[in-house]
Amino acid sequence: MFDMHYDLLSVAYCCYLKKDYSYLEEWCKAYRDNNVRGVVGNLYFMSVDEMKEELHPDYYREDVSVCDMFRISTNIIKEMLPDTEFMFSIEGCDFLEVSDLEELYNLGLRNILPVWNNQNEYGSGNRSQEGLTEKGKKLLDKAISLGISIDLSHANRETFDDVISYLKEKKKAGEEFFVMASHSNARSICDRERNLEDDQILAIKELDGLVGVFSNRNFIVPNEIKDQVTQEEKEAYHLSHIEHVINLIGVDHVGVATDDMDFCKDADYEYGEVQIYPYGEIASNLRRVLGKRYGNFEVAKIMYGNMKDRYDRINNRLMKGRNM
């Protein structure tokens, strides 16, 4: 399995602040036991108050740069899982400058979500109606020039459309880039703003992107019945999201993500209840559910091969750049 979105770097940084790595060690064991061979490991940012409440009082401090946070957390992860395929990511670029991308790239950054749910100087998530800003275009330009993937999960409709339009201009100009929505489900099945309309899913395919269907109950099951469904029904809904996206854009453009927020359950107990598969059994459960509709070849592509191909393409671009 290649998990397309897990807040691994945020977990590592919180463990570093607490000087307690027991949660991370437990996660690593589940990771190994499940043969989860790759992950888009994410460092994420919200509002300062939300970070203090949900993560740690010192998670964000003005005297500690995003680059330092990224360096500390990636070093921890690389030491704990030295043979793993990591695509390191930042979600919510609120506290970094465009000029920081160069240093972050050299530290291993390969994916960015310009926005989380809130509005920042680059664009907006679902708490605002604003679109991509001029500074947001500069952020995209820098990411493209470095070979950093652009991730559209969490962008509101205006920002999503603006980014897609801007990337289409880049494509017409002959520029190469990588795009995905690492953890976004189908809005036609579960009407949540975080989920994607069909035309948005098709737009990602048009740019040769990936959609990671993720296993959070609140974005799988319609809100009015989310607390009433059985485990079997949750799994059926999850499979219906995967089928819907595959029917729209083909099996080569679909992956899986967890966006597992269990580590935040002390701040909000619901975070520990929204995953429909325990992380300790994630791969086997996904394989079982996908096997109800797809053969082994398709299951392997959805769970690992498609994201692995993207991971290799990004790294091959890096190697070509070094050889030029």
**What's this model's pTM, rounded to 2 decimal places?**
0.95
| CATH number (domain holding residue 90) | 3.20.20.140
The Cα-based distances of 181 to 170, 174, 186 in angstroms read 18, 22, 12
67-105, pLDDT tens digit by residue?
A: 999 999 999 999 999 889 999 999 999 999 999 999 999
Largest CA distance in the chain: 58
Residue 12 belongs to what domain range? 2-323
CA angle 62, 65, 66 (to 5 degrees): 120
143-178, pLDDT tens digit by residue?
A: 999 999 999 999 999 999 999 999 999 999 999 999
User: Considering its fold, how many domains does the chain have in total?
Assistant: 1
pLDDT band at 270 (very low <50, low <70, confident <90, very high): confident
The Cα-based distances of 289 to 75, 181, 286 in angstroms read 35, 22, 5
